[in-house]
């Protein structure tokens, strides 16, 4: 529990400092929302770190982030790993996001990071070119997520790993939320962000931080089935946060502390009690 709070504190400090304001401004409004993002990002970071440790820190590696947005995950991992033998590439369909990410690269002399415009469903990368491919919170936004998984399998080296994160449509937390008051179900959505920080809503919208609709949510069993049909071997599944971002949690720290306690316990029991999950797969 203490370790979780220490890691969360370090993560929020990174968010507050960031790379020239790179990180999502909306999570600065709410610490419960910050924890929601922290839990999944920390899980994926650990999956990457475990693979690097397995292969050896001295070995050169190429890591691809499909749907990288403005590169926040890459910049965070590059800073955290601090390994000159690791080369990061980020791909996103938004020219504005890629332009912004490359400006950060240039400003901070991050020679191990590169960002390009492209579609995750059909990239121009060579076969078996990457050691690790990450695809975080992307699959639920596309009509045919199977195409992305197929592309990941093509560009991943033999014995390489893919790490995805996406909502779990059959999670037990959502079932429990049905019994919660209406105001508690919504979480930190766009209108609440606007009410909390007036002109920041327009800034978030312009920068693409307001969530796109989810059109391909599936349960974990379905994602496992699809991934195995693509030729992946599932090695690890980890849950996200029990708590979603909401001002109610921010205003009741005692309750938040209790939730965080149970959140750490559930990590050892089940992955069904969270809105999203991360899955590590090997080719």
How many domains does the chain fold into?
1
What's the pLDDT score for residue 26? 47
Each residue of 198-257: pLDDT tens digit?
444 344 444 444 456 778 888 899 999 999 999 999 999 998 877 666 677 777 778 777
Look up the domain containing 229 and give its range: 2-282
Report the share of the chain in percent with pLDDT over 90: 45
**Cα radius of gyration rounded to whole Å, the chain:** 18
Digit-coded pLDDT (tens) for 182-201: 655 555 443 444 444 444 43
**CA distances, 54 to each of 5, 47, 57, 59, 75 (Å):** 27, 11, 8, 10, 22
Q: What would the mean pLDDT of 252-278 be, rounded to a whole number?
A: 75
Predicted TM-score (pTM) of the model is 0.80
Q: Give the chain's mean pLDDT.
A: 79
Predicted confidence (pLDDT) at residue 41 exceeds the cutoff of 70: yes
Q: What is the CATH number of the domain that holds 273?
A: 3.40.50.150
Give how far the C-alpha of residue 180 lies from the chain's centroid of Cα atoms, to the nearest Å: 26
Q: For residues 279 and 164, is the Cβ–Cβ distance under 8 A?
A: yes
Identify the bridge partners of residue 51 per DSSP, sorted by sequence position. Answer: none
Question: What is the model's pLDDT at position 203?
Answer: 44
> What is the layout of strands, in order, in the sheet containing 113-117?
113-117, 86-92, 61-66, 130-136, 156-167, 276-282, 233-239
């Amino acid at each position: 529990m203490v370790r979780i709070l220490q890691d969360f504190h370090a993560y929020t400090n990174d968010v507050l400092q960031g790379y020239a304001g790179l990180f999502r401004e909306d999570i600065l409004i709410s610490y419960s929302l910050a924890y929601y993002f922290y839990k999944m990002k920390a899980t994926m970071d650990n999956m990457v770190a475990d693979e690097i440790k397995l292969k050896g820190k001295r070995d050169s590696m190429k890591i691809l982030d499909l749907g990288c947005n403005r590169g926040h995950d890459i910049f965070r991992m590059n800073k955290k790993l601090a390994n000159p033998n690791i080369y990061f590439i980020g791909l996103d369909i938004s020219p504005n996001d890629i332009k912004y990410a490359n400006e950060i690269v240039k400003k901070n002399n991050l020679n191990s990071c590169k960002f390009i415009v492209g579609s995750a469903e059909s990239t121009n990368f060579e076969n078996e070119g990457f050691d690790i491919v990450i695809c975080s919170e992307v699959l639920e936004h596309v009509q045919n997520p199977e195409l992305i998984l197929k592309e990941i399998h093509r560009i991943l080296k033999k014995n390489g790993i893919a790490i995805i994160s996406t909502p779990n449509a059959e999670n037990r937390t959502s079932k429990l939320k049905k019994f919660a008051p209406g105001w508690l179900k919504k979480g930190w959505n766009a209108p609440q962000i606007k009410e909390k920080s007036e002109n920041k809503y327009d800034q978030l919208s312009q920068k693409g931080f307001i969530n796109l609709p989810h059109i391909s949510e599936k349960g974990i069993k379905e994602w496992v089935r699809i991934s195995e049909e693509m030729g992946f071997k599932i090695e690890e599944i980890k849950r996200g946060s029990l708590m979603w971002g909401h001002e109610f949690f921010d205003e009741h720290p005692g309750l938040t502390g209790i939730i965080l306690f149970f959140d750490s316990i559930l990590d050892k029991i089940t992955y069904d009690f969270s809105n999203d999950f991360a899955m590590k797969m090997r080719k």
